[in-house]
Amino acid sequence: MHSIFRFGSELFVSMLVFVCLGMWIDDSFHTTPVFILAGVFYALFGSFYRLYDRQRKYHE
């Protein structure tokens, strides 16, 4: 149960950080959805990679 909460909180925080960063970059360069979407995909990929890596190390 602890690992599920950890994954959820890491996903939430990374999404929040990278979406806010993407919004700031998009406002600066006037490229509305580009960096927001890049932030979402980066946060999702990073979170799922960390989950995969943790599970792989756990089962070794």
Question: In the prediction, which pLDDT does 42 show?
Answer: 97
Cα separations in angstroms, 34 against 5, 29, 46, 49, 54: 30, 10, 18, 22, 30
Question: In the prediction, which pLDDT does 29 show?
Answer: 97
**Domain range annotation of the chain:** 2-58
Question: In the prediction, which pLDDT does 60 show?
Answer: 85
- pLDDT tens-digit profile, the chain (60 residues): 788 899 999 999 999 999 999 999 999 999 989 999 999 999 999 999 999 999 999 898
Question: In the prediction, which pLDDT does 44 show?
Answer: 96
Token duo for residue 36: 């927001």
Q: How far apart are CA 35 and CA 30, in angstroms?
A: 10
